Amino acid sequence: MTDDFNEKYEAEVSAIFTRFPSFQKVGAAAYKPGIEGMLAWDEAAGRPHERYRSVHVAGTNGKGSVSHLIASVLASAGYRVGLYTSPHILDFRERIKVCNGKGGMAKYISKEGVYGFLMKWKQYFIENRMSFFEITTMMAFDWFAREHVDFAVVETGLGGRLDSTNIITPVLSVITNIGLDHCDLLGDTRAKIAFEKAGIIKPGVPVVIGEDDPEIAPVFEEKARDCGSALCRAQEIYPVDSPVVEELFCEMDLKGEYQRHNVSTALTALSVLKKENVLDEGAVDESVVYDGITGAASRMRFLGRWQDIRKGRSRLIVDIGHNAHGLKYNFSQLGRLFVQDPSRKAVMVLGFVADKDVDASLAGIPCPDGRNIEFVFTNAASPRALPAHELERHFLLRYSGHVSSGSYSVRVVPRVADAVMYALEACGPEGGIIYIGGSTFVVAEALPALGYKDS
């Protein structure tokens, strides 16, 4: 691959970020509800998604993990599997992967594949004012067809009913959970958000609900009934405290405790695929499930989910959890980690985006008795980032008593790379426990600062 080609590739990828609205870059301003444009483009492209079977995954949190788990098991069973998720962390091509069956490791879409697609359709998406996410979605569908995948696991971008991915008719729909996020776009109650997510339920296509509860259950039940779709609740088939979930969780290479829920959901999805005779007889047995679940992160090249990195004697936990619903689980697990190792210094490097509920996200901060936690507030180099001093202000309004008592100490280090280096230096040669998170952007800048490269 020549330097000249790499320059052209980088220029075209940069162009779709700058010329077309990207939620990752500008937030709500990029949201383009409705699938009419995608349906028209799909027709022009020859409906590539109809050349393989799809599993469609939506939800407030966990949809990326569940998508990776399902894809990993299908690949372990010998199927050629495409995986489309967002956002990316280090490389744009993370969004579109193909894993070629047993023993294979997922490969990103090639740079030639990206460039060729952009050149072929450039005039079309300029004239039709397609969004960044519409462009990447069609790129994924087209790539999977070209790669002759057996299955594609497709994660929604935002919501479900009006999401660009919702032009597909999958063999299974999966909704992981419902929390309050993107309320300005999806609705200000969990029931309204559930209604949007339920939009991926298609006539006659079974649906798996990961974390159900009485407040939102009627929304899914009504939609499934209207569509004539069988509704399966993961907590009834594979409860999170069941022995099989516990065994897989303890052995898997995704270590966040929230993954118990995702394992439950993925196992239920796979059982439905077997029950519906979508899979070849005997293709997904216990050994295949074990191999697929326990090795999902490495096989599918999955970053930023309770990612455990060692630097000297320090242990760093890097996680993209970015809303109150997701951070609640992270902070709870982190609090237990601090208690288990009380002699080591504890540092939390946090940076949020401005369009989140900052106060709700800060609500579950751990406070173990008898030890100090140092908070380092930072902000990523993104127009969506909440300024570090503003995050500090929110924090002090809630936790001034803890700061006064010495339980918490606070520092502002605006650049993420500098904040990470400060945290490591603060732990000294004896090392400490460092949590880095609050947004995908913070993780995207922290990993390179730590010298991490996806192999």
Range of 77's domain?
3-300
231 located within any domain: yes
The per-residue pLDDT for 182 is: 56
The per-residue pLDDT for 23 is: 46
- The reply to whether 295 and 429 lie within a common domain is no
Place of tokens 């059982």: 271
Mean pLDDT for the stretch of residues 230-248: 97
d(CA 43, CA 242): 45
In this structure, what are the phi and psi dihedrals at residue 316, rounded to the nearest 5 degrees? -110, 130
- Categorize the per-residue pLDDT at 316 as very low, low, confident or very high, splitting at 50, 70 and 90: very high
- Categorize the per-residue pLDDT at 431 as very low, low, confident or very high, splitting at 50, 70 and 90: very high
Mean pLDDT for the stretch of residues 371-396: 95
Among candidate residues 273, 300, 327, the one where a domain is terminated = 300
- The reply to whether 237 and 311 lie within a common domain is no
455 located within any domain: no
The per-residue pLDDT for 248 is: 98
Average pLDDT, the chain: 93
Place of tokens 């298609």: 202
Mean pLDDT for the stretch of residues 58-77: 96
454 located within any domain: no
- The reply to whether 288 and 364 lie within a common domain is no
- The reply to whether 147 and 289 lie within a common domain is yes
- The reply to whether 287 and 173 lie within a common domain is yes
397 located within any domain: yes
Q: Is the pLDDT of residue 30 over 70?
A: no
Torsional sign, CA 42, 44, 45, 48: positive
Mean pLDDT for the stretch of residues 10-16: 93
- Categorize the per-residue pLDDT at 84 as very low, low, confident or very high, splitting at 50, 70 and 90: very high
In this structure, what are the phi and psi dihedrals at residue 346, rounded to the nearest 5 degrees? -115, 125
H/E element, 7: helix 3-19
Residue 368 contacts residue 388 (beta carbons within 8 Å):
no
In this structure, what are the phi and psi dihedrals at residue 152, rounded to the nearest 5 degrees? -125, 130
- The reply to whether 185 and 95 lie within a common domain is yes
d(CA 267, CA 293): 9
pLDDT 10s digits, 37-55: 999 999 999 999 999 999 9
- The reply to whether 264 and 402 lie within a common domain is no
257 located within any domain: yes
Residues of the chain above pLDDT 70, percent = 95
Q: What is the pTM of this model?
A: 0.93
d(CA 246, CA 411): 38
- The reply to whether 336 and 259 lie within a common domain is no
The per-residue pLDDT for 343 is: 87
- The residues, any chain, with a CB within 8 Å of residue 98's CB and separated by 6 or more, are 80, 81, 82, 83, 106, 107, 109, 143, 144, 147, 149
Q: Is the pLDDT of residue 21 over 70?
A: no
The per-residue pLDDT for 5 is: 95
**CATH code for position 431:** 3.90.190.20
Residue 206 contacts residue 234 (beta carbons within 8 Å):
no
pLDDT 10s digits, 333-371: 999 999 988 889 999 999 999 988 999 999 989 887 778
24 versus 348: the higher-pLDDT residue is: 348
The per-residue pLDDT for 355 is: 86
Q: Is the pLDDT of residue 455 over 80?
A: no
Torsional sign, CA 413, 359, 443, 14: negative
131 located within any domain: yes
- Categorize the per-residue pLDDT at 28 as very low, low, confident or very high, splitting at 50, 70 and 90: very low
Q: Is 135 helix (H, G, I), strand (E, B) or coil?
A: helix
d(CA 381, CA 403): 28
Among candidate residues 261, 278, 300, the one where a domain is terminated = 300
The per-residue pLDDT for 19 is: 78
Counting beta carbons within 10 angstroms of the beta carbon of residue 124, is it exposed (0 to 12), middle (13 to 18) or buried (19 or more)?
middle
Among candidate residues 282, 300, 318, the one where a domain is terminated = 300
- The reply to whether 314 and 249 lie within a common domain is no
pLDDT 10s digits, 145-189: 999 999 999 999 987 899 999 999 999 999 999 886 655 556 668
- The reply to whether 291 and 372 lie within a common domain is no
Q: Is the pLDDT of residue 213 over 90?
A: no
Question: For residues 321, 326, 328 and 330, what is the CA-based torsion angle, rounded to 10 degrees?
Answer: -40
Residue 309 contacts residue 452 (beta carbons within 8 Å):
yes
- The reply to whether 277 and 383 lie within a common domain is no
Chain length of the chain: 455
- The reply to whether 228 and 334 lie within a common domain is no
